[in-house]
Amino acid sequence: MLVIDDYVSFLGDLDPKKGVFRKKGYEGVEVRDKILVFRGSRGSTVGTYIIYSISKAGSAPKAMVVDKADQIVITGCVVSNIVLGEAVNFKAKDLVGYNGRRALVRIERNQGILEILDN
């Protein structure tokens, strides 16, 4: 699980060819096969294409969980077939303790369930 208690600019913060962050404090951190938890996106609508690009390159996260879903993240996840969840009873900052930890995560599509099981 990768938790970023901040907004992400997919155009500036993520290298679409490598699927790694350039964002300060997360430089070189890979998103592939992780549950990416963050506040939401910021910046250009090109972010949708960046999400699609990392998906096509095989470097996409398994799922994204955001405090507030917006058009960039929603569209990017839809066209890339990435599971997207919007936080309802918690915020990204509440999950910072799980950052970098291997955990079993269960996401039930269409039911609004995010369950973190201790591994």
Q: What is the pLDDT of residues 79-102, one digit of tens each?
A: 999 989 887 777 888 888 877 766
**What pLDDT was estimated at residue 97?**
80
User: pLDDT digit string (tens) for 32-85?
Assistant: 999 899 999 998 899 999 999 999 999 999 999 998 899 999 999 999 999 898
Q: What is the pLDDT of residue 95?
A: 81
pTM: 0.85
Residue with tokens 């996409």: 60
Separation CA 28–CA 19 (nearest Å): 9
Structural domain span for residue 35: 2-117
CA nearest to 34, candidates 4, 1, 5, 6: 1
Half-sphere exposure of 114 (CA within 13 A, CB side): 21
Picking from 61, 28, 23, 56, the residue whose alpha carbon sits closest to that of residue 42 is: 23
Angle, helices 71-80 vs 47-56, to 10°: value is 20
The token pair at 97 is: 């303790």
Q: Which residues are catalytic?
A: 44
Centroid of chain to Cα 22: 14
Q: What is the mean pLDDT of residues 15-43?
A: 92
Given a cut of 80, is residue 105 above it in pLDDT?
no
d(C-alpha 92, C-alpha 70), whole Å? 15
User: What stretch of H or E contains 41?
Assistant: strand 35-41
What pLDDT is stored for residue 94 in this prediction?
83
CATH number at residue 39: 3.50.30.10
Q: Which residues, in sequence order, are bridge partners of residue 114?
A: 107
Total domains, the chain: 1
Residue 111's pLDDT is what? 65
Reported as a pLDDT band with limits 50, 70 and 90, residue 11 is very high
